[in-house]
Structure 1
């Protein structure tokens, strides 16, 4: 909740400093604040520290690279050359492949610095017999600890899965998959609350019922309140369905021969799932072009919807999703 408090305090400070008058003509963008808040949450989970004040520049630099990487990843030529890697040896395709490789290298540089820092800290703590509180453990720290333990058990042999190369890849996945999708979901949610004020009113009424008298703004919604907020959760679900964050998913490869819609798809075929074909299917979601959170409510409770797949076509769920 630290990031939520920081975001709200920043907004209040900005509005107070200008008395709100300048905002009437210039407007006020929440996107930068939301982006930093989301990035800070992910960075704390992965590397154990938040992006606050002086470290904002680190976030902006990294986020710029992530944005460029995601835009490049969505380019048709990049998609083709990643599907058929041998094309990287030809003009034009080589440029897009090199740009993709450069941006990935820039991200790895930041992650490598943080991983090295964690390894060095653990060495110093081991030498001084310092025991870290488990609550202070973050993802990279826990992963490095597992690497060390497995090396000890295997007499110095590197584990197939728990190694630095795997850790680097997971860090990239967490930031690239988590930063833009989470930030964009929140940005779209704010937008939809302005476009659909009747939804905003119902959402506010539910939050007021759960929070109660909160004029001083001291209480915040927490995870324990989730089951008490069916409409709030329905609004979030409908936001992710309606905004269709990933119309076209990443390239996948079939692991076995499959039959789909009367077509035979051979093992090893590269496929690109079309998530939008599900999220906007009238057979699944009635009047899909309308923003209707109520579609996820049944008998006053949040309805589980297997067809709500804003991020991927697969079994299971993504990090951060709780029942």
Structure 2
């Protein structure tokens, strides 16, 4: 009986201890879970900090790389410019030599010296054609570089424009091969054909150059029009700021109204100009009408620029302590004379055909 009683007491002790053990186990698990969550949060925070550090370092590296990229772009531009200038000077030198040679070849005597002078003329013509084609090649290289670095052309326009240049470069290379393969004693008829073909290549190059520059100019004006909206918004915010301080803004409001009217006129004229350019682009036609319309647009741009400057001058006068660095409405530096020009792309015409 005593044994049975002892066994029952032991059983009750074991049964009462089980919940305590289980509770301790659950508490341990809970503590472990909390510890795990804490470590996970800590790890995430460390990862986030590391990521921000990497991003900051990457951004800094990119920022530091900007001057280097600008420097390389400038060096590349200078290289193209030097190569083009060298080709052009060489072309001019050969032209002068050819002029002197042709003068000597006007002799009528049936002498070896006279015959040699006439042969020298033919050789000189061939060299002049080669140099003319070299100038055209350098000009296209320079133009292509300008397109690649353009900030006003879209990626699609850059692709289209580069393809046009590449197509013309193929034509130029073909003509270079034909002229190079010509014999030094080529007939006058062969030289005339070569001159005619080279002149056609030169004319096609000039037309393409003008179209591409016009394309870039048209895009640039579209960008300027978008900025005019920003300018007007900036003027309005400055007027509101002065009004809040109890300052009379009547004259500033008059200038703002004038600027808005001028901008509407500018937009209307630019729209007409763009339509003329688009029509000329479709048929690769003459750009004379477009250029005339550009003169009107440039006059409109000058008017808005003058009004904007008058506004800013008056604004500074009525609020002399304004923060200039943050308060100035950005003037568009190139608003007058917006048509991009590059006198270095001008090519001289090849020599006139020789007489038999």
> Which structure has the bigger radius of gyration?
2
TM-score by length of 1: 0.23
Higher relative contact order (CA 8 A, sep 6+): 2
TM-score by length of 2: 0.21
Which structure dedicates a bigger proportion of its chain to helix?
2
